[in-house]
C-alpha cells in the first residue's frame, strides 16, 4: 500500500485557491493540474508499506498526532520546486503555526512502526496544485498571483491516506486523528 499522512484543508479555503488559479488552469504549457479532490498538505510520505505494518502505523500515528495542538494556518503566496525558473511543481504556500514539529513527529511514528520513509527532504508546508514533466519557467504565473492571501483556517486533524496510482490517481482515507484542542496541549 502506498501511504502518506496529510492535512486536508476545509472546502471554503480551497474554494479561494480554486478561484485564484482558475484563469491559469490549462493555460500554462506543460503543467498538469490534478483534480481538486486530491489536494492535501503532505506531512509525511511513507511510500510502499506492507499491510502487516498498518495496525502498528495507526497506533504510532495516533500517539504522534495527539501530542500536538490544533494549527491556525493560512495559504499565502505561490511558488515552485525546485525553483520558480526551473519548476516541476507549482504550489500554494502555507503559513501559521509551525507544522514542522507535527511533521517530524508523524515521520518518527512512521519509522518506529516500520514504514519505510522515502521522503527525507526538509519539510516545506505547501499544497501542490500542478506538476510538469520537464522544468518549466513559472515566473509569470507566480508573479501574476502575488496578490493572493487566503483566509485563516484551522487544521484540526491528520489523515492517513492510501494512494491508488494510475492514469487517474485516487486517494482513500484509512484513518483520521484529531489534534488536541488549543489550551489542552
Go through the domains of the chain in sequence order and give each one's CATH number. 2-178 (3.90.1140.10)
Q: What's the pLDDT score for residue 123?
A: 84
Active-site hit among 19, 40, 68, 164: 40
pLDDT digits 0-9 by tens, 52-100? 999 999 999 999 999 999 999 999 999 999 899 999 999 999 998 779 9
Query: In angstroms, how far apart are the furthest CA atoms of the chain?
Result: 48
Strands 126-136 and 157-164: unpaired
pTM of the prediction? 0.91
Query: Per residue in 94-118, is it b (16+ CB within 10 Å) or e — as a string?
Result: bbbbebeebbebbbebbeebebeee
**What letter does residue 121 receive in the DSSP assignment?**
S
* Whole-angstrom distance, CA of residue 109 vs CA of residue 43: 12
Starting at the earlier edge strand, list the strands of the sheet with 157-164. Answer: 41-48, 2-7, 157-164, 170-178
Q: What's the pLDDT score for residue 120?
A: 67
* 124 included as an active-site residue: no
Active-site hit among 19, 68, 126, 164: 126
Which whole number is the average pLDDT over 6-30? 95
SS3 131: strand
Work out the pLDDT band at 111, boundaries 50, 70, 90: very high
Q: Mean pLDDT, the chain, as a whole number? A: 92
Q: Please give the grid coordinates belonging to residue 76.
A: 499565502
* 66 included as an active-site residue: no
Amino acid at each position: 500500500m502506498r501511504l502518506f499522512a496529510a492535512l486536508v484543508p476545509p472546502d471554503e479555503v480551497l474554494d479561494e485557491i480554486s478561484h485564484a488559479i482558475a484563469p491559469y488552469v490549462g493555460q500554462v504549457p506543460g503543467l498538469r493540474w490534478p483534480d481538486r479532490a486530491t489536494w492535501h498538505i503532505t506531512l509525511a510520505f511513507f511510500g510502499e508499506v506492507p499491510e502487516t505494518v498498518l495496525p502498528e502505523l495507526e497506533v504510532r500515528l495516533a500517539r504522534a498526532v495527539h501530542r500536538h495542538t490544533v494549527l491556525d494556518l493560512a495559504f499565502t503566496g505561490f511558488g515552485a520546486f525546485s525553483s520558480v525558473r526551473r519548476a516541476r511543481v507549482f504550489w500554494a504556500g502555507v503559513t501559521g503555526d509551525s507544522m514542522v514539529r507535527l511533521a517530524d513527529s508523524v515521520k518518527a511514528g512512521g519509522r518506529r512502526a516500520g514504514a519505510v520513509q522515502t521522503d527525507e527532504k526538509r519539510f516545506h508546508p505547501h499544497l501542490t496544485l500542478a506538476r510538469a514533466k520537464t522544468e518549466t519557467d513559472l515566473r509569470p504565473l507566480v508573479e501574476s498571483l502575488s496578490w493572493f492571501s487566503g483566509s485563516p483556517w484551522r487544521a484540526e486533524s491528520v489523515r492517513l491516506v492510501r494512494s491508488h496510482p494510475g492514469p487517474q490517481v485516487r486517494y482513500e482515507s484509512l484513518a483520521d486523528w484529531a489534534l488536541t484542542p488549543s489550551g489542552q496541549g
